[in-house]
Chain A
Amino acid sequence: MKKYLISDGGLISLYIKGDNEAFRELVERHKNRVFTSIYLIVKDRARAEDLLQETFIKVIDTIRRGRYNETGKFLPWILRIAHNMAIDTFRKNKRYPVVMMEDGNNVFDTLEFAEEPVENKKIREDTVEKLRNLIQDLPENQRKVLIMRSYLDMSFKEIAESTGVSINTALGRMRYALINLKKKMKQNNIVYDPNLYPK
């Protein structure tokens, strides 16, 4: 059976039985999502790469010890691990490091995208960069809720419990995050163009 048709839980079961390709499929399936969520918190590519590795190592070790909960969902679980690691790192390093390469370019410029027309690729890269900056510029409470809901797949109830506020407050912060982002996107001419994102 084709691996991409198998559920996350199914892939883990196969991996436990000795199928390394099943774990490869799991990594390929979720690596971008986990990496993006980490990166938005730590704001440093090299650190995000390290934390992605640590996250998956923790996943593998947990499975190895027979402690993976097969009734749970894999993605929310790994995102929670990633989030906790990223937050711990962020707290230890309260500066916002900008990692520069020797030629003066930001390492964020080295992100690779799938093969696509050069013009679309450039527009997409510019848009990603702008959007990333807009998210970083949000007030902390709004940014936190936005990242937790949009990238860590936490429900508003979980976000409220995690941040110690009411669900209404969490919803309100998301509402303002969306309003503020929309305003800034308009000012920065970031519009949704389905032709650039063929998913």
Chain B
Amino acid sequence: MTQIYTQNDLVRYVFKETTKEEESGIEDELLVNNDLIDFYIDASEVTRKLKELDLEPSEKTVQAILDYSRTVGVHS
């Protein structure tokens, strides 16, 4: 029986939560299904963009963390 892949399956594919078998099936489906390929392109673009939202804390906060890591008696 041929597996039918939905946009929800594609979401799992974009976030790498599919099995190898599903991956292969979805990739075959993407070659022939225009709705799926359109969604895949949009979803990929958005997730790439989301990865770029990379905010940096202040040096002061980082230093406070490092100071604490040195002053607390961790070491056995």
Q: Are B53 and A27 in contact, CB atoms less than 8 angstroms apart?
A: no
Which residues of B are found within 8 Å of A63, using beta-carbon distances? 74
Does A197 sit at the interface, judged by CB under 8 A?
Answer: yes
Size bracket, chain A contacts? 35 or more
Q: Tell me which residues from 30 to 76 in chain B have a Cβ below 8 Å from any Cβ of chain A.
A: 39, 42-43, 45-58, 60-62, 64-66, 68-70, 72-76
Query: In the complex, how many angstroms separate the beta carbon of A32 from the nearest chain B beta carbon?
Result: 5
A131 / chain B contacts, CB cutoff of 8 Å: 49-50, 52-53
- Does A73 have its Cβ within 8 Å of any Cβ on chain B? no
Q: How far is the CA of A69 from the CA of B22 in the complex (A)?
A: 32
Interchain CB contact (< 8 A) of B8 among A135, A172, A197: A172
Whether A27 pairs with B62 at a CB distance below 8 angstroms is yes
Q: Do most interface residues of chain A lie in helix, strand or loop, or is the interface mixed? A: helix
Q: Nearest Cβ in chain A — how far from B1, in angstroms?
A: 20
The interface residues of chain B, by DSSP majority, are classed as: helix
Bound-state CA distance A48–B73 (Å) is: 26
Asked if A178 meets B43 with Cβ closer than 8 Å, knowing A171-B11, A171-B12, A172-B8, the reply is: yes
Query: Does B5 have its Cβ within 8 Å of any Cβ on chain A?
Result: no
A52 within 8 A of B: yes
Which A residue sits closest to B64, measured CB to CB?
A53
Q: Do B70 and A20 have beta carbons less than 8 Å apart?
A: yes
A18–B45 Cα distance when bound, in Å, is: 44
Chain B residues with CB under 8 A of A190: 49
* Shortest beta-carbon distance from B51 to chain A in Å: 8
Given contacts A15-B69, A16-B74, 4 further A-B contacts (CB under 8 A): A35-B55, A63-B74, A181-B46, A182-B42
Query: Can you give 12 A-B contacts (C-beta < 8 A)?
Result: A15-B74, A17-B76, A20-B70, A35-B57, A49-B58, A49-B61, A53-B64, A111-B55, A113-B56, A171-B11, A178-B43, A181-B46
The 3 nearest A-B residue pairs measured at CB: A171-B8, A182-B42, A18-B75
